[in-house]
Amino acid sequence: MTRWKKEPSGSFFYFRKNAGFTVMELVTVIIIAGVLAVVAIPRLTRGTFDDAQLYDETLAALHYAQRTSMAYQRTVCVTFTGGNQLSLTYASVYGSSSCNTSLVPPGGNSATYVLTAPGSSTYTAAANFSFDRIGRPNSGQTITLSSGRTITVEAETGYAR
């Protein structure tokens, strides 16, 4: 008959009748949770997401305005109003620099292209400008958002980054 050997008390397979967590394990978990709370939670605030959304949507609107000016062979105007709104219009007459027609957003619905900043995000520094028929802005632009991020529109090429 074979006798089973007892596992040593420090072994992984040793069964304790009073199973539970040690003080050291609990302290370790609390410290890890505290570090995560200090580092990760501030990055997940709504304002950060709103600013990132505004940055991405503004960049997309500027690229769309430049492409449209070249495709339509018309002047496309970028107008900032109220610190939280961007709208796109274009000149209905070839060669005119006066924007008098609302630009339709991609997707083809009949609404005008208006971008409203989400949440508490705003444009802190932005001036109205236009793209000519070959996609160049009338002047170089730097658009600053409330988060401090900037979008630069190159004066010669019209490239927005």
Contacts of 75 (CB under 8 A, 6+ apart): 69, 90, 91, 96, 97, 98, 99, 130, 131, 132, 133
Higher per-residue pLDDT: 79 or 40: 79
Contact yes or no for 88/78 (Cβ under 8 A): yes
Domain 46-153 has CATH 3.55.40.10: yes
List the chain domain ranges: 46-153
Mean pLDDT calculated for residue range 93-117: 88
Banded pLDDT at 120 (limits 50, 70, 90): confident
Mean pLDDT calculated for residue range 109-116: 85
Amino acid at 83: G
Mean pLDDT of the chain: 88
